[in-house]
Amino acid sequence: MSAVLDAIYGAYGIGTNVAVNGLDGGVGGTWSELTREALFLGALVAHLLPDNAEASGLLALMRHCEARRPAQFDAGGRFVPLVQQDTTLWDRALMAAAEAALLQAAGLRQPGPFQLEAAIQSAHSQRAFTGHTPWPAIAALYAALVEHFPSTGALIGCAVARADAGRLRLLGALASDEVAGYQPYWIVLAYLSGRTGQGDALRRALERALGLTADERIRRYLQAVAATGRWIW
């Protein structure tokens, strides 16, 4: 079942990238058929296996991510980072459905990586109601994810939540072949380099990130960051 859930999440990620890059024959940012199918399969598996906490956790994770899709780009087609998105554009019904799935998972007391990732996204969603992102809670959830279910993605997320020089050193310790083609790594490395005043390292990391970015709207955002050294429009 773990492999099935991984496959569904992988399909969701691929479908999202296809839709964001406008390669599905429609307008960039629309749902691709693969994304729709992944969401359907996630809901189906969670329904058929109500005692599988990770199935509900995966469904919660995908729904939280999907709820924020309308705010990912502004009216001019420019990329908008999560922390700057207009929360009034987030899909409240989908967020509520995600929370219901996460609550179902939590009640089973079977910790797993999808549940922790969903909890992180749930914490981000609180900004829609409080106006603030609970970074200490997000950092704690990422720390638990790294401790119990370590992965490159988890470590990179933890580095963002705990943006300090120590996390920058941890990123530098990752195997070069593991991150060479992993765009999020180079973006986070650039972000942390800028936070610690390492302008040259920021520019080098952004150059690598740009080379790994297909979506022209995100490329323009990264180019603006490289030109200004600031992570906002």
Q: Tell me which residue of 17, 25, 78, 82 sits closest to 217, measured CA to CA.
A: 78
**Which own/partner contact pairs does 201-207 have at CB distance under 8 Å and 24+ positions apart?**
202/226, 202/229
What's the pLDDT score for residue 198?
A: 84
What's the pLDDT score for residue 170?
A: 66
pLDDT at 151 over 80: yes
Backbone angles phi, psi at 214, to 5 degrees: -90, -35
**Which own/partner contact pairs does 35-40 have at CB distance under 8 Å and 24+ positions apart?**
35/11, 35/66, 37/11, 38/8, 38/9, 38/11, 38/12, 38/62, 39/12, 39/63, 39/66
DSSP state of 79: B
Residue 27: which pLDDT band, with cuts at 50, 70 and 90? very low
User: Are 161 and 142 contacting, i.e. CB atoms less than 8 angstroms apart?
Assistant: yes
Q: Average pLDDT in the 182-208 region? A: 88
Q: Average pLDDT in the 193-203 region? A: 85
pLDDT at 23 over 60: no
What's the pLDDT score for residue 205?
A: 92
> What is the chain's mean pLDDT, rounded?
88
What's the pLDDT score for residue 65?
A: 96
What's the pLDDT score for residue 232?
A: 59
pLDDT at 208 over 90: yes
Please, is 27 exposed, middle or buried when counting C-beta atoms within 10 Å of its C-beta (0-12, 13-18, 19+)?
A: exposed
pLDDT at 24 over 70: no
pLDDT at 50 over 70: yes
What's the pLDDT score for residue 33?
A: 84
CA 176 to chain centre: 22
What's the pLDDT score for residue 28?
A: 45
